[in-house]
């Protein structure tokens, strides 16, 4: 809290007034990320055609991961030690799953899903490859650039889902 107060040039008491604890700070950060208009799944759903939808989706996921990796690390690392942070992690994952469901529905609406892939399989594939773990492994651990990750994600999703 002291570091936040220094960075914001306010008193520690002011920080506590707005954020009674660590979970409140992490929750505010997470909310600011997921509510950013440029990260909305609506852009994918409204894409003109399936290839464009996947390209937009890969770009959004890249940006989401770039902005959220610190929050995700806190949430993942707090499992079992803070009930509110564990709840936030579950909400984060549920939001991700919901976004993948909406993305797949958008693909289906444009006739963009392979005939041999069910809707639920498509959701599972996107949920897995767009998850924070894959981004972390490739970008933060293996040294890929975010741009390389985005391009790979677009190609991988296309190979798995498009006719």
DSSP 33-74: HHT-GGG-THHHHT-SSHHHHHHHHHHHHHHHHHHHHHHHHH
Per the domain annotation, does 81 fall within a domain?
yes
Tell whether the model's pLDDT for residue 36 goes beyond 90. yes
pLDDT at residue 128, as a whole number: 97
pLDDT, tens digit, 9 for 90 and up, residues 100-149? 999 999 999 999 999 999 999 999 999 999 999 999 999 999 999 999 99
Domain that includes residue 155, residue range: 22-161
Per the domain annotation, does 99 fall within a domain?
yes
pLDDT, tens digit, 9 for 90 and up, residues 52-77? 999 999 999 999 999 999 899 988 88
Q: Measured between alpha carbons, how far is 163 from 117 in angstroms, rounded to an integer? A: 10
Per the domain annotation, does 92 fall within a domain?
yes
Q: Measured between alpha carbons, how far is 62 from 139 in angstroms, rounded to an integer? A: 10
Q: Measured between alpha carbons, how far is 160 from 110 in angstroms, rounded to an integer? A: 16
Per the domain annotation, does 33 fall within a domain?
yes
pLDDT at residue 5, as a whole number: 82
User: Are the C-beta atoms of 26 and 71 separated by less than 8 Å?
Assistant: yes
Per the domain annotation, does 100 fall within a domain?
yes
CATH code assigned at 41: 1.10.357
Per the domain annotation, does 103 fall within a domain?
yes
Per the domain annotation, does 26 fall within a domain?
yes
> For 145, which DSSP code?
-
> For 115, which DSSP code?
T
Tell whether the model's pLDDT for residue 80 goes beyond 80. no
The total of structural domains in the chain comes to 1
Q: Measured between alpha carbons, how far is 147 from 153 in angstroms, rounded to an integer? A: 10
pLDDT at residue 94, as a whole number: 96
Kindly state the tokens that stand for 152.
Answer: 């790979």
């Amino acid at each position: 809290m002291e570091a936040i107060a220094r960075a914001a040039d306010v008193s520690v008491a002011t920080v506590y007034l707005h954020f009674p604890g660590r979970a409140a700070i992490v929750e505010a950060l997470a909310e600011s990320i997921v509510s950013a208009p440029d990260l909305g799944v609506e852009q994918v759903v409204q894409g003109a055609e399936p290839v464009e939808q996947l390209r937009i989706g890969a770009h959004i996921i890249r940006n989401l991961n770039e902005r959220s990796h610190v929050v995700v690390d806190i949430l993942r690392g707090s499992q079992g030690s803070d009930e509110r942070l564990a709840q936030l992690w579950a909400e984060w994952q549920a939001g991700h799953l919901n976004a993948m469901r909406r993305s797949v529905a958008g693909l289906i609406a444009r006739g963009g899903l392979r005939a041999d892939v069910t809707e639920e399989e498509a959701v599972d594939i996107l949920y897995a490859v767009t998850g924070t773990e894959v981004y972390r492994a490739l970008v933060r651990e293996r040294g890929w650039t975010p741009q390389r990750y985005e391009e790979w994600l677009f190609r991988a999703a296309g190979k798995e889902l498009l006719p």
